[in-house]
Amino acid sequence: MKARACWRTTAFALVTAALAGCSRDDLYAITLVAAQNAGGHAGSGDAGAAGTGNGSSGNGSSGTAAGSSGNGNAGESNAGRAGAGGGSSGSGAVACKSATLVAGDSSRTVVVDGVTRSYVLHAPASYDGTKAVPLVLDFHGIGGSGANELANSPYPPVLDAEAVVMAFPDGKKGPAGTAWNVGPCCVANVDDVAFARALVEQVRGLACIDSQRVYAVGVLTGGGMAHYLGCHAADVFAAVAPAAFDLLAENIDGCTPPRPITVISFRGTADSRVPYAGGPSSLVPGMPLTFLGAEATFEKWAEIDACTGTASAPDANGCAAYSTCGGGSEVILCTKQGGGEDPGDPNVAWPVLKRHTL
């Protein structure tokens, strides 16, 4: 014991002497190297502490492999976030040591509450697993499937170039075909929010995903699911882009996200199944619902997100926006005159989604 104590004292004295002549920049560089060797990556400048190699960002915590530098604190939004399989720096880089996903499409399953759920996972050719990328969940409309949504969605051709990983979940069969449980409609006794959460967690273990940049999009009831996740899973999804669906009068009071969340909605004025003006619908047998309407949904999200001022006039894409909302969020409604059940325009939606993180 005495020898060990002597060794520690001697080592401390030697290190202290060696560091005595170091500048502040030298000390920072030493800290950076130490953090990298410990399995994480130190934050930049005043960005704070780094995560460990197996840290998790799902609960906002950072790892403890290295001390903080400057005045930054571990766990802040841009500081030392831990990613799936590795610590990330303030610059967003993640060492995804455990990522095994390779480019291509694959059918996957995940068990939720004892029920096996399925989805198609899409990793574009540009994805190589060396850096953290966003994850986008794309929900199909009623009667559809994940495979069908992958084949017809406008999002992959736009997002593939940025190596974005996408997941296309399969809904459960309801009275009108495969669908999502968004409260009063459109399939019963299914927890699709839990499914979405479990899917995201599983993909984080397979791919190099930036957990701060997870998004949901969808059309028709899939758009309803995107709205529903905005209401009930804003701790997982940074922003959502629903199309051809509205918030519902039957459960709007339950839409209480824990933080303001960016919503960009796409609606067509000639949609026959989801009227632009809103109103009651009985298209799903035994599951009547009441659409708020496109503009009322727009205003309700502005209220939920504590937006101030008035919405902008529609731009060239038909998009009106509240841009001064709580937490830097945005609420946008893009209207297509004469449009129907359009899935939205990813060239408009993606630039909005990707500028928002958890």
Q: What percent of the chain has pLDDT above 70?
A: 73
User: How much is the mean pLDDT over the chain?
Assistant: 81
Q: What is the mean pLDDT of residues 272-293?
A: 96
**Does the structure show a pLDDT above 80 at 284?**
yes
* Nearest one of 216, 286, 296 to 248, comparing CA atoms: 296
**Does the structure show a pLDDT above 70 at 256?**
yes
Please name the residue that has the structure tokens 């325009």.
Answer: 345
- Of 94-108, 138-152, 210-224, 250-264, the range with the lowest mean pLDDT is 94-108
Q: What is the pLDDT of residue 96?
A: 75
Token pair belonging to 20 = 């005595």
* Nearest one of 356, 357, 353 to 138, comparing CA atoms: 353
- Of 87-91, 143-147, 175-179, 189-193, the range with the lowest mean pLDDT is 87-91
**Does the structure show a pLDDT above 60 at 28?**
no
Q: How far is it, in rounded angstroms, from Cα 136 to Cα 237?
A: 9
Q: How far is it, in rounded angstroms, from Cα 265 to Cα 215?
A: 13
Q: What is the pLDDT of residue 51?
A: 35
Q: What is the pLDDT of residue 83?
A: 33
Q: What is the mean pLDDT of residues 136-145?
A: 98
**Does the structure show a pLDDT above 50 at 320?**
yes
**Does the structure show a pLDDT above 60 at 140?**
yes
Cα dihedral 139, 143, 145, 149, rounded to 10, equals -60
The model's confidence at residue 70, banded by pLDDT at 50, 70 and 90, is very low
Bond prior to 186 in cis (omega within 30° of 0)? yes
**Does the structure show a pLDDT above 70 at 318?**
yes
Q: What is the pLDDT of residue 97?
A: 64
- Of 67-81, 179-193, 226-240, the range with the lowest mean pLDDT is 67-81
The fold for domain 104-354 equals Rossmann fold (3.40.50)
Q: What is the pLDDT of residue 94?
A: 53
- Of 92-106, 120-134, 152-166, 277-291, the range with the lowest mean pLDDT is 92-106
Q: What is the pLDDT of residue 61?
A: 35
Q: What is the pLDDT of residue 145?
A: 98
- Of 32-46, 189-203, 262-276, 339-353, the range with the lowest mean pLDDT is 32-46
Q: What is the pLDDT of residue 95?
A: 58
- Amino acid of residue 207: A
Q: What is the mean pLDDT of residues 31-41?
A: 36
- Amino acid of residue 244: A
Q: How far is it, in rounded angstroms, from Cα 261 to Cα 331?
A: 8
The model's confidence at residue 351, banded by pLDDT at 50, 70 and 90, is very high
What lies within 8 Å, CB to CB, of 282 at 6+ separation is 288
| Pairwise pLDDT comparison (22 vs 292), residue with the higher score | 292
Domain chopping of the chain, boundaries? 38-68+79-98, 104-354
Q: What is the pLDDT of residue 99?
A: 73
Give the relative orientation of helices 192-206 and 221-232 as an angle to the nearest 10 degrees. 80
